[in-house]
Amino acid sequence: MDDGTIGGAGDPWREAELAGFLLPEQQARLHAHGWLTMLAPRAAGGAELPLPEVVRLEEEIAATDGSLGWVVTLCAGAGWFAGFLPPALARGIMATPGVCLAGSGAPTGFADIDGDDVVITGRWDYASGAPMATHFTLNAVLRERGEVLRDEQGKPRIRAFIVPARHVALEASWQAIGLRASASHAYRLDGARIPASHGFTIDAAHATADGPLYRFPFMALAYVTLAANLLGMARHFLALAGPLVAARRQHGSGVPLGEVPAVAARLALAREELAEHCTALYEVLDRAWDAVVRHTLADEAGLQRVSLQLVDTCRRTVDSLYPYCGLQAAREDAEINRVWRDFHTATQHALLLPD
């Protein structure tokens, strides 16, 4: 990792938030580190790093800045799909200057089969990193001659596709309170014709790249990478909260809040619980990765469970300490306020709903 000042002197993350996107120098640093291609196959030009290494790195990036971590995680995750594309297509995409894959998982469009092509029409929300994307991934309902194709259970058939950014129209729809620099805008395709070979299936049985990374279960990968982002942001919040709590004084007594036994105990408990659940996450992840390397099954249920437990702990940590941080934490231009807003925006991801 860097020293936390990727954008230069001052507070580049505040500047990125005000701009509503990662600044050009921040984007350049992402590409220089190769973070956006770290899950793509080596044979296609990616780094194909072991997943435990990637998840730990994503935690550290998110601890630097929430929007940065979110863009890296979501765009690197889309780059993982290169392991399920035809190899020649994957190599061509990864060779694109400044390659960045963004996208959305909701099947909110249609792909009409027309010979060897598909014609895609629809609108998709929440493509983090959209302004810097060279390609977009999407899920679409398959149709042929205007009729929705259905599987054996009668459900619409859904297929994933990757399309070059030239086919995409962005909509400036991202108005969230946090993760503002993630620029998670909507995008639209209006009858874009692409080769049917740009479709792919996200399943180990359909992987086109060798290696354990493409045998790892997709949903388990999604849970653990998102949880790592929340952990990084919660760590950042806790690091900023400590000095603010220490600087405040208890009303009436004038005793520093950090010396009030109940407050000191709350801070200590927050640190202990965060460390405990962080350790649990990585222990289960490391075992799951080792299992996949050995060609056995990963503990998907266990990874989902520890990921959601960690997210719940992060929520309690942030929310229990926020009231002790004073009005400084309520200032929109304060770093801790940005971290608080980023964190709570990230917790709204559909996979992270509490039980």
pLDDT of residue 259: 85
- Residue 3 lies inside a defined structural domain of this protein: no
Give this prediction's pTM.
0.94
**Taking Cα atoms as reference points, which of 49, 38, 68 lies closest to residue 229?**
68
Claim to verify: residue 155 and residue 175 sit in the same structural domain: yes
The CATH number for 43's domain is 1.10.540.10
**Sign of the C-alpha dihedral, residues 62, 228, 37, 182?**
negative
Domain boundary among 136, 171, 203: 203
Per the structure, the complete domain to which residue 274 belongs is given by 216-352
Question: At 133, which CATH number?
Answer: 2.40.110.10
Among the residue ranges 128-132, 159-163, 351-355, the one predicted with the least confidence is 351-355
% of the chain residues with pLDDT over 70 = 97
The answer to the question of residue 7 being in a domain is no
User: Which tokens hold the place of 60?
Assistant: 């550290």
Burial class (CB in 10 A: 0-12, 13-18, 19+), 354: exposed
Residue 226 and residue 325 in contact, taking contact as beta carbons nearer than 8 Å: no
Residue after which a domain boundary falls, among 137, 168, 203: 203
The predicted structure's pLDDT at residue 253: 85
Residue 17 is classified by DSSP as H
User: Based on the domain organization, do 191 and 113 belong to the same domain?
Assistant: yes
Provide mean pLDDT across the span 286-313: 97
Q: What is the pLDDT of residues 314-338, one digit of tens each?
A: 999 999 999 999 998 999 999 999 9
Domain boundary at 178, 203, 228, which?
A: 203
As a whole number of angstroms, the distance between CA 137 and CA 265 comes to 47
- The pLDDT-based confidence of 9 (bands split at 50, 70, 90) is very low
Mean predicted lDDT score pLDDT of the chain: 95
Percent of the chain with pLDDT over 90: 91
**Does 128 score more than 90 pLDDT?**
yes
Both 26 and 136 in one domain: the answer is no
Whether residue 340 is contained in a domain is answered as yes
pLDDT of the residue at 251: 81
In terms of domains, do 289 and 249 share one?
A: yes
User: Domain total for the chain?
Assistant: 3
Q: What is the pLDDT of residue 7?
A: 34
Mean pLDDT calculated for residue range 129-138 = 98
Per-residue confidence band for 4, with pLDDT thresholds at 50, 70 and 90: very low
| Confidence category of residue 5, pLDDT binned at 50, 70, 90 | very low
**Using CA atoms, how far apart are residues 143 and 111, in angstroms rounded to an integer?**
6
Each residue of 153-208: pLDDT tens digit?
999 999 999 999 999 999 999 999 999 999 999 999 999 999 999 999 999 999 99
Residue 5 in domain:
no
DSSP assignment of 225-293? HHHHHHHHHHHHHHHHHHHHHHH-B-TTT--BGGGSHHHHHHHHHHHHHHHHHHHHHHHHHHHHHHHHH
CATH number at residue 323: 1.20.140.10
Whether 197 and 224 share a structural domain: no
